[in-house]
Amino acid sequence: MRNHTVIDSPYGPLTLVADDGVLSGLYMTGQRHRPPEENFGPRDDAPFGEPEEQLKAYFAGELKEFTLQLRLKGTDFQRAVWDQLRRIPYGETRSYGELAEALGNPGASRAVGLANGKNPIGIIVPCHRVVGADGGLTGYGGGLDRKQRLLAFESGAALF
């Protein structure tokens, strides 16, 4: 059973999607690779209490690491990249090349970038913490403005 809810955030409305009560999606308005609305199932706030509470604590600056059960659907390689994303500490960044090296495949930075862009659970699986080799901002499915704001927030330079 798939269902969804929409919550407010400092970065605009966030659509949370659950499969059988387990968080499987977090999408921003206008996000690249956002599935069609009809794929989210009926609206039902019930399975989203804990994800919503943890997101509120994160946006309040009180939570640095999410402890939610997630259902990440993708290829083995994508799931390996998303696992590496979850290992990037709050307030830090990694390059695509560093993630490729961590996966044991230093030549796979482009593939890492593609997998990063398909991350179905933004913010919680922190794909915004990935930057170019020179430390510059590169693509972000939620838009570069949101990426810059999220990184500034985590570095303490902004409150939202």
Instruction: Give tens-digit pLDDT for 52-110.
Output: 999 999 999 999 999 999 999 999 999 999 999 999 999 999 999 999 999 999 999 99
- Residue 24, classed as helix, strand or coil, is strand
Inform me whether the pLDDT recorded for 160 exceeds 80: no
Which helix or strand (DSSP H or E) is residue 6 part of? strand 2-7
Inform me whether the pLDDT recorded for 156 exceeds 90: no
Inform me whether the pLDDT recorded for 159 exceeds 60: no
pLDDT tier at 116, thresholds 50, 70, 90: very high
User: pLDDT digits over 123-136, tens only?
Assistant: 999 999 999 888 87
The structure's pTM equals 0.92
User: pLDDT digits over 16-34, tens only?
Assistant: 999 999 999 999 998 988 9
Question: Which positions are annotated as active-site residues?
Answer: 127
Name the H helices within 22-71: 49-59
Residue 6 bridge partners (DSSP): 15
User: Closest Cα partner for 4 from 106, 35, 156?
Assistant: 35
Alpha-carbon separation of residue 110 from 7, 14, 66, 96, 128 (angstroms): 33, 27, 27, 7, 16
How many CA atoms are closer than 13 Å to the CA of 15, on its beta-carbon side? 22
Query: What are the residues whose beta carbons fall under 8 Å from the beta carbon of 65, sequence distance 6 or more?
Result: 90
pLDDT at site 124: 98
28 CB-contact burial (10 Å; exposed 0-12 / middle 13-18 / buried 19+): buried
pLDDT at site 63: 96
Q: Per DSSP, which regions of 8-160 are E strands?
A: 14-19, 22-28, 94-95, 130-131
Alpha carbons 123 and 146: distance in angstroms, whole number? 10
Inform me whether the pLDDT recorded for 139 exceeds 80: no
Q: Which residue has the higher pLDDT, 70 or 160?
A: 70
- Domains along the sequence of the chain with CATH: 2-59 (3.30.160.70), 76-155 (1.10.10.10)
Inform me whether the pLDDT recorded for 41 exceeds 80: yes
pLDDT at site 158: 57
2, 40 contact by CB (below 8 A): yes
Inform me whether the pLDDT recorded for 7 exceeds 80: yes
pLDDT at site 149: 92
